[in-house]
Structure 1
Amino acid sequence: MIRKGFLLASLGLTLLSCDKNDDESYIDIDLSERMYAGGETTIFSATSIAFRTPAPNLSAADLQMHLMGDTQFEAVFVTAPALVNSGLGSIFNNSSCISCHPNDGRPNFPANLNSRSGLLMRASIFGQDEHGGPNPIPGFGVQIQNQAVFGFLPEARYQAAFIEKTETLADGTVIVLQKPVISLVDPYTNLPGGLMLSPRIATPVFGLGLLEAITEQDILANQDINDANGDGISGKANYVWDPYLRQTVLGRFGWKANTGTLLVQCTAAYVEDMGITNYVFPNETGHNQSNGQDGRDDDPEIPQAIVDQVVLYCKTLAVPGARNINSKSVKEGARLFESLECSKCHIPKQVTGPSSISALAYQTIYPYSDMLLHDMGDDLADDRPDFLATGREWKTRPLWGIGLTGLVNGHTTFLHDGRAKNLTEAILWHGGEAQKAKEKFKQLSAAKRNALLDFLNSL
């Protein structure tokens, strides 16, 4: 349900610019201190449930609420009226949180674009809304719902074409990349011209409460909007409108850091992804969609208690610890990660501040993200601004847990639209501020490339 997320992967591997020579001596890195990626919330599990385990340091009360939220996260909603889980639709993308976030991880790119999946389309037209956010499409809003309950029409269906791009590595290896270009067909009413569409794959759920607890001051300390240090990297914070607090706040979640809190992230997903009204978003639709109103006087359709359980659940999932840290290849990969300057955006270490959930407070964590926006070049651009994020900018995705994706979710597809079939492809799609690092990666020997991948897969 959390929409979110990625720059590398659905979890974004932004290999940012590198001015160093690959052959220079590497900095010695002590990976042992990074084993506990989530601080005291860390678990050591290389199993299919590695993303969906409660943090081990929760209080008894928080654990009880977490388990209730777990049940609600898996609840499948149905059309009203119903005795249980009522309120689906009238238009929607999926019918449960877990369907978009399988095993609390990332979904694969769907074989059928119009099946219920973890892919959705963000949409807007030129201009901004009254709070500086994306300008909704009249009659459609800012998200295209491609499902509908009986008696209603989906807003539109999705259709994809693919553009190929070839990258050649220094050793002669040729890699063919594919970019999905998703368009809308069969709209329920006429679409205006000048649409800005951006496909989004749902992101993993674990560790989110820790990211929310990093202080704003610490995040802003890594900003370098005008590249004052001349390293080619210009991290920028997004500031977004919070509809619950009724004020502008620091953006932390979503692919463009376009949401400030997990409360808004979860409640927006309820109403936009599943058509379920709640205490933050009490209206079926705010964009005059004639096909969106169910005609029932039952809003909000989900109690505040359930919303709050799900929000706490999303905050308090354990973070999987790093693995194989004593491997020679992993150690070499960690040094390459530094020498290529990947860590300038994928900053390994963060520290949380105070939190209403004691388990999350004052933790030293290793998410590998600066939580900032970066220009990722033409190939990754969606040309759709989102508050302060331009159409070329994306938030640095955390890398923790990325090496478990294949085990937990049965695939290794990454990036915001699921175009990368593996980590190598994810790196090769990077441009903009990451262009120099990508070119350095392409020049590495096969052994060094594999060492870097071993390191990423150890996270």
Structure 2
Amino acid sequence: MVRLRTFSGVLALCLAAPVAVAGPELTQPHLAVQARTADEAARVAQVTEPATDFTRPEPFENNPGGAATVPLLANADAFSQPSANMSFERELDFRLGNGLFRKLWVSSPSSTLASDGLGPLYNARSCQRCHLKDGRGHPPDGPGDGAVSMLLKISAPAAPDDPMTEIERYLAATGAAADRRRPDPVYGGQIQDLAIAGHAAEAQLAVTYSDVPVELSEGETVTLIKPTYSVESLAYGPLARSAALSARIAPQMIGLGLVEAIPAADILALADPDDADGDGISGRAQIVWSADRNRPMLGRFGHKAGMPTIRDQSASAFSSDIGISSPLAPAPSGDCTPAQSACLNAPNGANDVRGTEIDAESFDLVAFYSRNLAVPARRDSGDAQVLRGKQAFHDSGCVACHRPKFVTDRLPDQPEQSFQLIWPYSDFLLHDMGDGLADDLPEGLASGREWRTAPLWGIGLTSQVNGHTRFLHDGRARSLLEAILWHGGEAAPARQKVIDMPKTTRAALIRFLESL
């Protein structure tokens, strides 16, 4: 059930939320926001109502990114285009950001002073290495295939005497119960499987799969593959007792600025943590600390909504994935811990000229690039099978979490994202997805069974952009149908409807998803 009806309803639900999320400290990640007028709020409520007519496309449905939508390219660059409504002057910044996104970092000291500082322990040498063509990563595909677009997050329960973090203090004051976790005392927040010369990589990811057959209607059977993860060749001793590992593939990059521009109130209005309306869906807001704004904010990005802004996400990735310091994460040794003295004492690329290893201007350009990777136009929205699949998507209850539409804030300083009707197909809330997808690694308010609803725009272009069809947080699903069949928990009733529906309807549902 879609819960956003009026702007006054948004405010009422925000104020009623069990976590104190209505204060100004949890609002937009933008410095300049123009409030909606009453007339605009009424128009927004009307245009974001769920579809009821499945005989034809909805108005503007072919432009999922609003005016920023770009025509679809028939090649692997489909996710790498700037917002269509971007001025020529701002497109220059986008191109500069793209160059920095693709830049290969090298170890220090180096004659290439603008590019040194890699690691010493790291997962990739550039942003592009994980987000190939700005698209989706994949798990290792057999012997010899690296895991460069996949990583293992790691954490362990905090000790009783560990001081509370800023976000833990905030959440405790609101009465929210967060599972207190800390990075592994030796290996940090994620396993670094690469290292510069003279240093040992932390470990190597290993994965094995077991078959899980699922019987569908009309005699169809689908065999899922269930992954089991482990680490091999631990170079710095054993993992902490009770440490939990969670495999994550790099998500696609399109539409991030539009997601950031959705009013926080509109996302919070969809939260129903106690399932007060009895529909079986109890989405919860993730609340995290923003280094960018030095305050608690609504989490929007990442598989468990662990990051609130694009700048926060960019700084975390530079630090943890590449070992590059930035103005928001200035430690030059990245994810290295006090137990890794050689890493901490290694030469780094920070200097008096540029400050951190990526300077403030370059960091801003990377964030601008990430904010403006455009969503391609829809395909075949008026096709009869696609429309039938869209109705099946709604009738099965998928829209309870994969909310089709939002309208972004008015942003005078971000014209590309300002006041756009967008179609991300996500509510950006945390949902219990059941035992099958549980990673047993809590993150902030997210339990080991909860995941942020993934946006679906562009999902049908994964094969074109990245040459594979691997989905979900760890890429275990080899098709869109497999991704659906892994859904459990709150999504179990919708999954069962897909299992039970006629085979032709199921095919139409997949055809609809492929058109997004």
TM beyond 0.5: yes
SS, match of residue 140 in structure 1 = coil
Quick check: 1:142 aligned with 2:169?
Answer: no
Q: Which is bigger in relative contact order (C-alpha 8 A, separation at least 6)?
A: 1
Number of aligned positions between the proteins:
435
SS, match of residue 213 in structure 2 = strand
Over the aligned positions, Cα root-mean-square deviation in angstroms equals: 1.7
Aligned to 1:104: 134
Q: Distance in 2 between matches of 1:134 and 1:114?
A: 32
Aligned to 2:466: 409
Q: Distance in 1 between matches of 2:224 and 2:68?
A: 37
Aligned to 1:273: 321
Amino acid at match of 1:260: P
Q: Distance in 2 between matches of 1:113 and 1:196?
A: 26
- What is the aligned counterpart of 2:58 among 31, 39, 60? 31
Q: Distance in 2 between matches of 1:458 and 1:369?
A: 16
Shift in Å, 1:297: 5.6
SS, match of residue 219 in structure 2 = coil
Shift in Å, 1:402: 0.6
Q: Distance in 2 between matches of 1:29 and 1:391?
A: 40
Asked whether the 8 Å contact 2:57–2:381 carries over to 1, the reply is no
Asked whether the 8 Å contact 1:91–1:148 carries over to 2, the reply is yes
SS, match of residue 61 in structure 1 = helix
Quick check: 1:74 aligned with 2:102?
Answer: yes
Asked whether the 8 Å contact 1:107–1:202 carries over to 2, the reply is yes
Q: Distance in 2 between matches of 1:420 and 1:232?
A: 25
Asked whether the 8 Å contact 1:55–1:316 carries over to 2, the reply is yes
Amino acid at match of 2:386: V
Quick check: 1:293 aligned with 2:344?
Answer: yes
Amino acid at match of 1:120: L
- What is the aligned counterpart of 2:385 among 283, 305, 329? 329
Asked whether the 8 Å contact 2:283–2:429 carries over to 1, the reply is yes
SS, match of residue 184 in structure 1 = strand
Aligned to 1:117: 148
CA 1:196/1:80 → structure 2, altered by over 3 Å: closer, same or farther?
same
CA 1:78/1:170 → structure 2, altered by over 3 Å: closer, same or farther?
same
Shift in Å, 1:114: 7.7
Rg (Cα) greater in structure? 2
Shift in Å, 1:135: 1.0
CA 1:198/1:72 → structure 2, altered by over 3 Å: closer, same or farther?
same
Q: Distance in 2 between matches of 1:244 and 1:192?
A: 30
Asked whether the 8 Å contact 1:26–1:339 carries over to 2, the reply is no
CA 1:343/1:268 → structure 2, altered by over 3 Å: closer, same or farther?
same
Aligned to 1:202: 250
Asked whether the 8 Å contact 1:114–1:157 carries over to 2, the reply is no
CA 1:177/1:139 → structure 2, altered by over 3 Å: closer, same or farther?
same
Task: Judge which range, 144-153 or 185-194, deviates more.
Answer: 185-194
SS, match of residue 217 in structure 2 = coil
CA 1:294/1:270 → structure 2, altered by over 3 Å: closer, same or farther?
farther
Asked whether the 8 Å contact 2:433–2:490 carries over to 1, the reply is yes
Render the CA deviation track for 1:155-187: whole Å, top value 9, x for unaligned: 211111223211000111111111221111222
Asked whether the 8 Å contact 1:153–1:291 carries over to 2, the reply is no
Aligned to 1:171: 218
- What is the aligned counterpart of 1:213 among 261, 265, 270? 261
Quick check: 1:244 aligned with 2:292?
Answer: yes
Superposition map of 1:59-458 within 5 A = 59-82=87-110, 83=112, 84-111=114-141, 115=146, 117-127=148-158, 130=165, 131-132=167-168, 134-190=181-237, 191-283=239-331, 284-285=333-334, 287-288=337-338, 289-296=340-347, 298-299=349-350, 300-355=356-411, 356-458=413-515
Aligned to 1:52: 80
Render the CA deviation track for 1:7-29: whole Å, top value 9, x for unaligned: xxxxxxxxxxxxxxxxxx98656
Asked whether the 8 Å contact 2:401–2:427 carries over to 1, the reply is yes
SS, match of residue 49 in structure 1 = coil
Asked whether the 8 Å contact 2:381–2:387 carries over to 1, the reply is yes
Render the CA deviation track for 1:397-433: whole Å, top value 9, x for unaligned: 0000111111111111101011000000000000000
Asked whether the 8 Å contact 1:240–1:251 carries over to 2, the reply is yes
Extract unaligned runs of 5+ from structure 1. Answer: 1-24
SS, match of residue 241 in structure 1 = strand
**TM-score normalised by L of structure 1:** 0.91
SS, match of residue 158 in structure 2 = strand
Q: Distance in 2 between matches of 1:31 and 1:411?
A: 30
Q: Distance in 2 between matches of 1:323 and 1:330?
A: 10
Extract unaligned runs of 5+ from structure 2. Answer: 1-51, 169-179, 351-355
Q: Distance in 2 between matches of 1:258 and 1:29?
A: 37
Q: Distance in 1 between matches of 2:387 and 2:510?
A: 11
Task: Report % sequence identity.
Answer: 40
Q: Distance in 2 between matches of 1:199 and 1:297?
A: 28
**TM-score normalised by L of structure 2:** 0.81
